[in-house]
Structure 1
Amino acid sequence: MRRLINHISSKNQPNTVIFSSEFLAWRQQFIPSRIRLLAWVVFIVLVMVTIFHITITIPSLNASGDPKLIFDAKRMREYLEVAVTQILSVGIGLLLAKSRVFQKSPERMFLLLSGLVLMPSQIIATLRGQASFDGDMWILFYAIQAILIPVHWRSHLISQVTVIGYFAIAMLLGWRDPNVIVPAAYGLGIFYTILICLVADVGVFLYERSLQREFELRQQLRVFLHAVSHDLRNPVIGMVMTLKTFWHPEQHTAQIPQELLKHIIDSGDRQVALINSLLEAHETEVHGIVLHHQRVKLHDLVKSVITDLQPFIQQANATVTYTIPTDLPPVNADALHLRRVYENLLLNALRYNRPGVNLTLDAVVGEHLNNQIRCTVQDDGVGMTQQQCDRLFELYSRGPNNRQSLGLGLGLYICRQIITAHGGKIGAISSPGNGATFWFTLPI
């Protein structure tokens, strides 16, 4: 275990960026879906902008009476050529984005789509000898591209350099619009465009690095969890197997009471099940906690939990009373996870209250609860404010007397995750000096 921790910490030292295979596989699936989204967004924007210009902008310019602004037949035809070519090019990009060929090479599709969006207008303008600076369109597209596809910053940089470099070459060769004075019209626009592109590339680079780091941490956590669970599970399994060799219900020996031996074996089995559930829940973190439903009688489950926690109850000199009816309808729940909820709530009450606290466990069902059972764990301890109650079930939150605890505050957060997975709700009601009531609901 020590070697594993040293290995994990040593991985944080090198400055060389090495993408994990898991991250690369995720990026390989992420980019094609976002390319299709980008193509649809650009296609819709181009159609809307074209309609807006034809219906509002161009008629307004024609109504001004200024000869320099009026769109005559030639100028209107030239505008429509560019607009229709751009829309058709993006439409082709949409079709290509769905092909299997480009899905296997998303970086190439990324560059191809960028060229299909921005290059047609430049090529047409160059053929007319009127290469113009489309800074507004470039800034808009590169901003949208960085937002929708915030990975692979090198592809962003290549797409920007290609378009801007093409325009620069056209300028050097004299294929520019002769009616535009370069220093006045292009200088500030070029500066802003390059600045926006630089900011977009830096943002994509930093976001990709943070994603890569997150994948690395997840992988390290999985390795650590498997190692810890392996180190914990094997000794527990070995202990249980050893104890089972001494368990003979038909014999009654004075050295080892069979009832106590059976209790220790059951406790060891539950520890193994808890370790396995920890691994299972981590592997299915996207889908939440995995539940294995069965019919559970709350009275029997709570009685078993209190029996297991007797050493803690006696140490705190506490009194525990459970008034859960024996004829309460069974719930369809995961018994192991439900035990964790009760154990966390009881241990939380014992930990954050004075010695001698009284605990009462109850459960009721009624029509006003929408066929749900409302379970409560009530104490007469120090209590807390309602604001503290509202924050108790958040990640890494602890009780008001957290100086007495070295835990991370995961217990109540796990309780909320379990109850939510069961389709119920959980909360706490309290006031300073009047104890606290933790409640949760379970569907019947």
Structure 2
Amino acid sequence: MARSIPALQLISKRIMKSVHLCLPVRMSFARYLNTLRAIRQPAHSTVSQEFLTWRHRFLFNRVRLLVWVVLIVLLLVTILNLTINIPSLNALGNPQMAFGAERTLRYMLTSGTQIVSVLLCLLLLKHPSMRAHPERLFLLFAWSVLLSPQIIDTFYKEARFDAGDWILFYAIQAILIPVQWRLHIISQVVVLGHFTLAVLLGLRDPDVPLLATYVLGGFYTVLICFIADLGVFLYERSLQRELKMRQQLQVFLHAVSHDLRNPVLGMVMTLKSFLKPSGEDAKIPQELLEQMIASGDRQVELINSLLEAHSTELHGIVLHRQPIRLDTLVNSIITDFQPFFGQAQTTLTQVISPDLPLVNADPLHLRRVYENLISNALRYNRPGLHLTFTAEVIEGKQKGKGSRRRRIFHAKANSQNLTAKSQWVRCTVSDNGVGMTQQQCDRLFELYTCGPDRRQSLSLGLGLYMCRQIITAHDGEIGVISSPDHGSTFWFTLPV
């Protein structure tokens, strides 16, 4: 359909230049051209891929249902007209209402063309291109049902005024296919525009003697089309919002299990190390007890923050900023992960200077960022990994810059612009693991898009997605520099 749209635009522009139409008709054609341009534009970034996939499948299934419904209706109406209606009108003896041989032949030609067109659309349902692009089949079907009779009448130098058929068809179309409101508008504009152009060129429907009938019938048709399109638009918007809220709920539920899993497992592994096979009483050092109590307190704070984040609509993140010493925070996180590091034979290098300026951040959410980055490094690399933690002060203009050869994903800040004198702390978590390809790096921080295995993507996609949400809420940026077999360096910036 995208290739045919420029041709339709060119034809419409030539019609506007060659025919001296009145102002309302020119405005209608202008709206039609704007609609065509809107169709060519890609979907808005806020529309999720999951919704687009569902809408594609739903549109194809509903077009198939509409084709069968209209085919059955056309067959029944044609049979009733040929067997009951036309013989009854001829029996009245009124020459104006009677169907002569020519009029009956034209009716059979029109009905036969509609039925054949619908049967052709029914066959096209099995074609791969129509399955891949159901929008084309939608427009082809709508025009074959309502536009083909008008083209036949235009050939006989008449204009067909089928306001009743238009209202009935577009109402059924909106009920059975309540998505893709732009396609509804295009299907209606082309049919009604053809009739309007035929009337302006001097063609008339011989069965409609009064001009007022055109005005009244056209008003009702446009009104029904407007209501139908508005209903489709509102229904599609409500579906998008429902799907978005469902995704937010899934993120919340997975975040609870994802962020509570590591500290609970670390505590369980620590307690298991004190089990004595002989049944002797285990003695737990006071320092370890204090560490476990602090870990439990952080879990309670994390649960409270997650509940608070779920009740907000701003990225699901509520910040409680305070000055933080990065070296102290990272050392605390490394201590909590010691059981995991020992199990995975991981070595560490922590080179964050104690003299580094304090960062203005939420300590609980910043801890979640580090924990997610460490957990992913341990999960997706072999034992014997080496992790390096660094942090340095950079100027605002240099924030987020990197070589063109580096594979970086940027999460753009969502609030105030940075000044040249603003200072940021650039934090990194590096490993010498298997690394990633550029395709993985480009989509690493998106939700549910990492890897072909959906269960794997739920784990990886959620953790890094939450990292991006947290850093973005801090007005910072997050990214990754990686290549296969050369490890990965995750970096993010925080305000001083």
TM-score bracket for the superposition, by shorter chain length: 0.5 to 0.7
CA 1:254 to 1:195, structure 2 compared with 1: closer, same or farther past 3 Å? closer
- Maintained 8 Å contact 2:66/2:173: yes
Q: Is 1:110 matched with 2:151?
A: no
| Deviation of the 1:181 alpha carbon | 2.5
Q: Alpha-carbon deviations, 1:6-48, whole Å to 9, x = none? A: xxxxxxxxxx883111111111111111111111111111001
Q: Is 1:220 matched with 2:220?
A: no
In the alignment, the residues of structure 2 paired with residue 254 and residue 167 of structure 1 have an alpha-carbon distance, to the nearest angstrom, of 91
Alignment-derived partner of residue 280 in structure 2: 252
- Maintained 8 Å contact 1:139/1:197: yes
- Maintained 8 Å contact 1:150/1:207: yes
Structure 2 letter corresponding to 1:253: D
- Maintained 8 Å contact 2:275/2:282: no
Alignment-derived partner of residue 271 in structure 2: 243
| Deviation of the 1:212 alpha carbon | 0.7
Structure 1 letter corresponding to 2:188: Q
For 1:41-440, what aligned pairs fall within 5 Å after superposition? Answer: 41-178=69-206, 180-253=208-281
Alignment-derived partner of residue 65 in structure 2: 37
CA 1:254 to 1:186, structure 2 compared with 1: closer, same or farther past 3 Å? closer
CA 1:254 to 1:190, structure 2 compared with 1: closer, same or farther past 3 Å? closer
- Maintained 8 Å contact 1:135/1:193: yes
| Deviation of the 1:200 alpha carbon | 0.3
In the alignment, the residues of structure 2 paired with residue 159 and residue 179 of structure 1 have an alpha-carbon distance, to the nearest angstrom, of 25
Q: Alpha-carbon deviations, 1:351-372, whole Å to 9, x = none? A: xxxxxxxxxxxxxxxxxxxxxx
Q: Alpha-carbon deviations, 1:321-364, whole Å to 9, x = none? A: xxxxxxxxxxxxxxxxxxxxxxxxxxxxxxxxxxxxxxxxxxxx
CA 1:82 to 1:254, structure 2 compared with 1: closer, same or farther past 3 Å? closer
In the alignment, the residues of structure 1 paired with residue 47 and residue 281 of structure 2 have an alpha-carbon distance, to the nearest angstrom, of 62
Q: Alpha-carbon deviations, 1:223-246, whole Å to 9, x = none? A: 222211112222222222122112
In the alignment, the residues of structure 2 paired with residue 91 and residue 180 of structure 1 have an alpha-carbon distance, to the nearest angstrom, of 31
- Maintained 8 Å contact 2:166/2:221: yes
In the alignment, the residues of structure 2 paired with residue 75 and residue 225 of structure 1 have an alpha-carbon distance, to the nearest angstrom, of 67
In the alignment, the residues of structure 2 paired with residue 247 and residue 113 of structure 1 have an alpha-carbon distance, to the nearest angstrom, of 73
CA 1:77 to 1:249, structure 2 compared with 1: closer, same or farther past 3 Å? same
Structure 2 letter corresponding to 1:195: L
Structure 1 letter corresponding to 2:254: H
Alignment-derived partner of residue 361 in structure 2: none
Identity of aligned residues (%): 60
In the alignment, the residues of structure 1 paired with residue 140 and residue 210 of structure 2 have an alpha-carbon distance, to the nearest angstrom, of 29
- Maintained 8 Å contact 2:149/2:160: no
In the alignment, the residues of structure 2 paired with residue 58 and residue 66 of structure 1 have an alpha-carbon distance, to the nearest angstrom, of 12
In the alignment, the residues of structure 1 paired with residue 127 and residue 77 of structure 2 have an alpha-carbon distance, to the nearest angstrom, of 28
- Maintained 8 Å contact 1:36/1:98: no
Structure 1 letter corresponding to 2:72: I
- Maintained 8 Å contact 1:135/1:189: yes
Unaligned runs of 5+ in 2: 1-43, 285-295, 297-496
| Deviation of the 1:182 alpha carbon | 4.2
| Deviation of the 1:102 alpha carbon | 1.7
Structure 2 letter corresponding to 1:28: H
In the alignment, the residues of structure 2 paired with residue 254 and residue 32 of structure 1 have an alpha-carbon distance, to the nearest angstrom, of 66
- Maintained 8 Å contact 1:126/1:176: no
- Maintained 8 Å contact 1:129/1:177: no
Q: Alpha-carbon deviations, 1:267-301, whole Å to 9, x = none? A: x9xxxxxxxxxxxxxxxxxxxxxxxxxxxxxxxxx
In the alignment, the residues of structure 1 paired with residue 126 and residue 144 of structure 2 have an alpha-carbon distance, to the nearest angstrom, of 15
In the alignment, the residues of structure 1 paired with residue 198 and residue 191 of structure 2 have an alpha-carbon distance, to the nearest angstrom, of 11
CA 1:131 to 1:159, structure 2 compared with 1: closer, same or farther past 3 Å? same
- Maintained 8 Å contact 1:43/1:90: yes
In the alignment, the residues of structure 1 paired with residue 238 and residue 275 of structure 2 have an alpha-carbon distance, to the nearest angstrom, of 54
Structure 2 letter corresponding to 1:84: G
| Deviation of the 1:50 alpha carbon | 0.6
CA 1:254 to 1:220, structure 2 compared with 1: closer, same or farther past 3 Å? closer
Q: Alpha-carbon deviations, 1:89-115, whole Å to 9, x = none? A: 111111112211122222222111111
Aligned partner of residue 89 in structure 1, secondary structure: helix
In the alignment, the residues of structure 2 paired with residue 27 and residue 51 of structure 1 have an alpha-carbon distance, to the nearest angstrom, of 36
Structure 2 letter corresponding to 1:206: L
| Deviation of the 1:255 alpha carbon | 6.0
Aligned partner of residue 151 in structure 2, secondary structure: helix
Taking structure 2 as the reference length, the TM-score comes to 0.47
In the alignment, the residues of structure 1 paired with residue 206 and residue 45 of structure 2 have an alpha-carbon distance, to the nearest angstrom, of 48
Aligned partner of residue 229 in structure 1, secondary structure: helix
- Maintained 8 Å contact 2:167/2:225: yes
Unaligned runs of 5+ in 1: 1-15, 257-267, 269-444
| Deviation of the 1:138 alpha carbon | 0.8
Structure 1 letter corresponding to 2:132: K
- Maintained 8 Å contact 2:159/2:198: yes
In the alignment, the residues of structure 2 paired with residue 167 and residue 224 of structure 1 have an alpha-carbon distance, to the nearest angstrom, of 54
Structure 1 letter corresponding to 2:224: I
In the alignment, the residues of structure 2 paired with residue 190 and residue 58 of structure 1 have an alpha-carbon distance, to the nearest angstrom, of 27
Q: Is 1:27 matched with 2:55?
A: yes
- Maintained 8 Å contact 2:170/2:225: yes
CA RMSD of aligned residues (A): 2.1
